[in-house]
Amino acid sequence: MKIKKITLYKVEIPMVTSFTTSFGTVTNKPTVIVKVETDNGVVGFGESAALPFPFYKPETTDICMLVLKDYISPLVLNKEFKTIQELMALLKSIKNHNFSKTGLETAVWMIMSLTEKKSLKTLLGGTQDKIAVGESIGIKKTIEETLEEIDLRLTQGFKRTKIKIKPRWDLKIIEAIRNKFGDINLMVDANSAYTLNDITVLKKLDHYNLTMIEQPLADDDIIDHSILQKQIKTPICLDESIHSAEDTRRAIYIAACKIINIKPGRVGGLLESKKIHDICKKNNIGVWCGGMLETGIGRAFNIALASLPNFFYPADMSPVNFFYEDDLVKDSFSVDKNGHISVPNVTGLGFEVNEKKIQKYTTKKIVIE
């Protein structure tokens, strides 16, 4: 098949709440929707869900628009390919820019699903009909506010609580959660806010029986994570440090983590995500699906991915309406009272794309053909 036309939409849906982590507050979360049209008239949608600022990873929303327009599209337009492997081989010369690549790659996965008449779950090799979900709770103004939100989600059935931490918003809040809710499934995400100089605090986390600590140290340093993991019992989960299957192999080799958070956007798509999943499975490293506050389009690919057999821990997959006033798909997924989302088993995205909504929230549009 050949790609005949690519349309890029910078989409800005108003947020209903801001989201604070150790690296900053997201008050407005634009995203990039990539529409791909093939020579036989099949249409797919994908999402590049980078943040608007370079505080999580260097790529931003506007960088995705630029890289997709100037570098990715020219390499794939009108080129013959049969598989996602062949598509990604066309992009081999582009270093990193994983969020940008993911927008195109996921759109083509949707096209493959429609062409081969198999659901994304089946195409990927998914085995689970439903996936377990936990909420990722941002840093709040008060401990009280955090406890209230946890209480609400536990009543709604969410399977796991993840809170964001940073120096001085760590031991006290964790202590308060354990005091109020006992032995719930609790984990923390530091988004690289600590260094090995904070070892005293990091060791104290061991008292709280956390399921894991996500990305305590710098994104570009798996060596210090390996040093830290030898000194703490709490399993380390890597997020920002893992960009590829190769990073995964190295991290496992030096025992820098016991768990990996797989986000398609961070690793360049579903194909690379599956490779990471497979390496981890072979090495007894549990994985789970993270999120980038995607719209219903990006979340749909995450759900399909999380149906693979080694997705063991609950996903960061809060419904889209937790963050946004609106969504880009009709009838988005919901979380049932047991904290599960059912994995669609139909061809295409699994949810109906609402192109009117894409138009409504588009602030910049680029057509490449």
Residues identified as active-site: 164, 263
- Of 63 and 112, nearer to ligand OSB (C-beta) is 63
**Is residue 293 within 8 Å of residue 29, measured between CB atoms?**
yes
Q: Fill in the DSSP letter of residue 109.
A: H
The reply on whether position 316 binds Mg ion by CB under 5 A is no
| Structure tokens given for 68 | 């997709």
**Interface stretch with ligand OSB, choices 287-295, 306-314, 336-344, 345-353 (CB under 6 A):** 287-295
Enumerate residues 6+ apart whose C-beta is below 8 A from 170.
188, 201, 205
| Structure tokens given for 279 | 């390496």
**Is residue 277 within 8 Å of residue 306, measured between CB atoms?**
no
Minimum Å gap between C-beta 352 and ligand OSB is 21
Of residues 126 through 185, those in contact with ligand OSB by CB under 6 A are 136
Alpha-carbon span 152 to 101, nearest angstrom: 37
- Of 87 and 292, nearer to ligand OSB (C-beta) is 292
What string marks each residue from 196 to 215 as x (binds Mg ion by CB under 5 A) or -?
Answer: ------------------x-
Minimum Å gap between C-beta 189 and ligand OSB is 5
**Interface stretch with Mg ion, choices 3-11, 29-37, 184-192, 296-304 (CB under 5 A):** 184-192
**Interface stretch with ligand OSB, choices 9-17, 101-109, 248-256, 284-292 (CB under 6 A):** 284-292
| Structure tokens given for 117 | 């008449």
- Of 192 and 354, nearer to ligand OSB (C-beta) is 192
Total binding residues toward ligand OSB, as defined by CB under 6 A? 11
- Of 47 and 214, nearer to Mg ion (C-beta) is 214
Q: Which of 47, 135, 170, 239 is close enough to bind Mg ion by CB under 5 A?
A: 239
Alpha-carbon span 269 to 263, nearest angstrom: 8
303 binds, among ligand OSB, Mg ion, none (CB under 5 to 8 A by kind): none
C-alpha distances out from residue 19 to 16, 63, 240, 243, 345, Å: 10, 21, 18, 23, 32
Minimum Å gap between C-beta 210 and ligand OSB is 15
- Of 170 and 316, nearer to ligand OSB (C-beta) is 316
Alpha-carbon span 150 to 135, nearest angstrom: 9
Minimum Å gap between C-beta 162 and Mg ion is 8
**Interface stretch with ligand OSB, choices 65-73, 96-104, 250-258, 290-298 (CB under 6 A):** 290-298
Minimum Å gap between C-beta 189 and Mg ion is 4
Minimum Å gap between C-beta 39 and ligand OSB is 34
The reply on whether position 316 binds ligand OSB by CB under 6 A is yes
Q: What are phi and psi of 306, to 5 degrees?
A: -70, -5
56 binds, among Mg ion, ligand OSB, none (CB under 5 to 8 A by kind): ligand OSB
186 pairs with which residues across the strands? 161
Residues that bind Mg ion (CB under 5 A): 189, 214, 239
Residues that bind ligand OSB (CB under 6 A): 56, 136, 189, 191, 239, 290-293, 316, 318
